[in-house]
Amino acid sequence: MSDPAESEQSAQSGRSDARIRRPVLLIVLGLLLLAESLVVLAVGVWQISELLQAPSEVYASAIALIVLVLAAGLWVLITAIGVFRMRPWTRGAALTWQVLQIIVAICCFQSIFASPEDGWPLLITAVVGIGLLLSPSVVAVTRRAA
């Protein structure tokens, strides 16, 4: 049989693992991702309202784009939740999202999709997000235990 003092000590050590303090930069990263996800989801809702108000000649393309935008918003929202929970997989997902934002910002600067003014907020938030992702305190708490 196991010693009651030993089981109490292991229970306390389990509780101490659950109480790891979140660094400020991790919280800022989570809030940034949460804001980005809400913006992307809002764009998806806006696209739905535009489709309903002014019917498109090509419904399949419009619906596919809406599904992709809403899926991206959901992906970033799940990533933000994972960041708040300090999950290791979130670094890769968040970095991928930030790189995609940089690509869209470059397209905006080249006036492929939008005007250059639309690219600056995307570029700035992506660079800030990458900086937060690579900060030592965020890497330390989201590192996979060996």
CA distance 69 to 112: 18
**Does 14 fall in a domain?**
no
Statement: residue 6 has pLDDT above 60? no
Task: Report the pLDDT averaged over residues 8-34.
Answer: 73
Statement: residue 7 has pLDDT above 60? no
Q: What domain count does the chain have?
A: 1
**Does 7 fall in a domain?**
no
Predicted confidence band at 118 (pLDDT cuts at 50, 70, 90)? confident
| CB atoms closer than 10 angstroms to residue 111 | 11
At 73 the pLDDT is 97
**Does 15 fall in a domain?**
no
Statement: residue 2 has pLDDT above 70? no
**Does 114 fall in a domain?**
yes
* Span between the terminal Cα atoms of the chain, in Å: 30
> Which value, to the nearest 10 degrees, does the dihedral of the CA atoms of residues 40, 41, 43, 47 take?
140
Task: Report the pLDDT averaged over residues 45-72.
Answer: 88
How far is CA 122 from each of CA 27, 40, 48, rounded to the nearest angstrom? Answer: 20, 12, 22
Helix locations, 19-135, DSSP H:
24-53, 59-84, 90-109, 116-133
Statement: residue 31 has pLDDT above 70? yes
Structural domain for 55, as ranges: 23-141
**Does 99 fall in a domain?**
yes
**Does 131 fall in a domain?**
yes
Within 8 A by CB and 6+ apart from 137, the residues are: 23, 24, 25, 26
At 56, phi and psi to the nearest 5?
-90, 155
CA 37 to chain centre: 7
The DSSP code for 136 is H
Yes or no: say if 141 and 23 are a contact pair by the CB < 8 Å rule: yes
CA distance 82 to 85: 5
